[in-house]
Amino acid sequence: MHRRRRTALAATAAALAAAPLLTACGSEARPGAAAVVGGDRIEVSALQAQVRQVRDAQQSSPESAQLIRATGDLSREKLNGMIFDRVVDRVAAGQGVTASRKEIQDTRKSAAAQSGGEEQLAAMLLEQQGVAPEEIDTVVRRNVLMGKIAEKAGAGNDPAGQQKLTGLFTAASKDMGIDVNPRYGTWDDAKIQLGEYRAPWLRQVTARQPAQPEQA
């Protein structure tokens, strides 16, 4: 991934994490759904399928016990990513940006090369972000879109650029009327995440860049 896009991605995450707390007040999601986003249901069965993929991959790792302990709240983690991806899609559509199959493949190849190969990339994503091998393209697509959104919006590291970027995501989130099943918490439109949940990619960027916060 190009340095400029990595910088834009860090700025995106930083902007989202720096937004003030605003408690969402949605009604209970419809029965059988983990969440309803923009009128579309995220079925509990779809969420559970993602959780199983990650657990299966973790069980195959020599460090399975450690990986499982580190992702104890995996259902919320995966739901957070599933909702966030839909918000990213809405913002991308509004900004007129897309991620082609070639861009996803090229970005994945670049990430794999930097990680030492596909196996190393998969192991890193599983360990750091709880991403199963089947989900890697989804995470890469998210990163491509977020980088393009930040670039299109002219969001740099300055507070004004970050505020503008946060505004795009917050507005999209509110417009989608995100309604989460209470068992998983509530969606925070300002932070673009489930309640106080902090996604792994936000934790990592925060650790690398003090006073700031990539999936999934």
H helix and E strand count, the chain = 9, 5
pLDDT for the residue 74? 93
At 141-153, the pLDDT tens digits run: 999 999 999 998 8
At 103-121, the pLDDT tens digits run: 999 999 999 999 999 999 9
For residues 58, 60, 65, 70, the Cα torsion angle rounded to the nearest 10 degrees is: -20
**Residue recorded with tokens 């995440």:** 193
CA pair distance 132, 54, nearest whole angstrom: 5
Quick check: helix, strand or coil at residue 172? helix
- Of 57-61, 119-123, 170-174, 211-215, the poorest mean pLDDT is in 211-215
CA pair distance 116, 10, nearest whole angstrom: 22
At 67-101, the pLDDT tens digits run: 888 887 899 999 999 999 999 999 999 999 999 99
Q: At what angle do helices 44-59 and 118-129 cross, to 10 degrees?
A: 120
CA pair distance 78, 104, nearest whole angstrom: 21
Is pTM beyond 0.95 here? Answer: no
pLDDT for the residue 155? 77
CA pair distance 29, 31, nearest whole angstrom: 6
For residue 174, give Cα distances in angstroms to 90, 102, 178, 206: 11, 32, 7, 25
Q: Are 168 and 95 in contact (CB under 8 A)?
A: yes
